[in-house]
Structure 1
Amino acid sequence: MSSTMVVTQPQPVMEAQDSQEWGSGICDCTQNTPECCFAFWCLPCFACRTSRKYGECLCLPLLDYLPSLIPAASLAMRVSMRQRYGIRGTLCRDCVCSFFCYPCSWCQMSREMARRNIQVVLISAKQT
């Protein structure tokens, strides 16, 4: 008598959102004041934590501190987030936000992740 184990890998389940816009504006820091204070006082730590929560490398935001005109990691995260959540926007706008509003851009991305609340559903294995 042989038994076969069937295992299903967890699949991410995303909450459906009606809007194709950011859930908050770039300067809506009052929506989550403690996070914005954290970003203001220790931006590298805040950006690394946000990156990790998003599922990227913890140290990814530290690449922004290399000499360049546009912060590459921040820009890449904004573009990725817009694609994942179906948010309308342009690469040009992402560049402007990443360059001129760097801390506010990270706060906006953190608020968006909290708003979208991605959960992972685990399906148990069963024997057949």
Structure 2
Amino acid sequence: MYPTMNDHPSYSYDSHMGPVPASGVPDPSPAQPYPVHHHAYISNSLPRAPPAPVSGQWTSGLCHCFDDPVNCVITCVCPCITFGQITEIVNRGSKSCVSRGLLFGLLALTGCACFYSCFYRSKLRGQYDLQEEPCTDCLVHFCCWSCALCQEYRELKNRGFDMGIGWEANMDRQKRGVTVAPIVIPGMAR
């Protein structure tokens, strides 16, 4: 029988790194497995800051609904709320959140809400010079209106709007010079 690394008195065995000499420095021999870096999965689980808006590009993808899970749930349960919030900002306060949300709800009962909401997607794209992707606005809203509403909501949010307070309050904040609080990543304090 051949001796193993565990039988050698100057080596200890680490379950994650394999055999480690008593000096604490791993043996660079090719028979030794590479060490496992447990910190690799932690960096992927931290919340991401919203990307900075780039002219002509959306700040998030159509299917990234879970980037904002609260809005995703609200949009799935009651899309008229999200639609109303979007339209108040896109209309620059000329139409209220409540009136547009109620109209969207009534049109949803007839099955025509996607045609109404695609108009606002086009208007949003025009305001921020965004590309019409992955296909035309009407097709996006006809095939997956909930994802489209979530994307539009995130786009306005990533461009600095607090979607819960409406147009007037956002303009008051901007006049006073109040900015959104920075995103604090837990565990990064010293």
Q: TM-score, normalised by structure 2?
A: 0.48
Distance 2:83 2:156 in 1: 13
Other-structure match for 1:111: 154
Distance 2:58 2:123 in 1: 13
Which amino acid is 1:30 matched to? F
When the two chains are superposed, the root-mean-square deviation of aligned CA atoms in Å is 2.7
2:136 paired with 1:93 = yes
After TM superposition, what 4+ stretches of structure 1 lie above 6 angstroms from structure 2? none
2:73 paired with 1:37 = yes
Distance 1:49 1:18 in 2: 23
SS in 2 for 1:20: coil
Other-structure match for 2:62: 26
Q: TM-score, normalised by structure 1?
A: 0.68
The answer to whether the Cα contact below 8 Å between 2:115 and 2:142 also exists between their aligned partners in 1 is no
Higher share in helix: 1
Q: Note closer, same or farther for the CA distance 1:21–1:82 as it changes in structure 2 (3 Å cut).
A: same
Other-structure match for 1:65: 108
The answer to whether the Cα contact below 8 Å between 1:70 and 1:95 also exists between their aligned partners in 2 is no
2:175 paired with 1:122 = yes
Q: Note closer, same or farther for the CA distance 1:48–1:105 as it changes in structure 2 (3 Å cut).
A: same
Return the offset for 1:26: 1.0
The answer to whether the Cα contact below 8 Å between 2:115 and 2:138 also exists between their aligned partners in 1 is no
- Flag structure 1 segments of 5+ consecutive residues without an equivalent: 1-15, 124-128
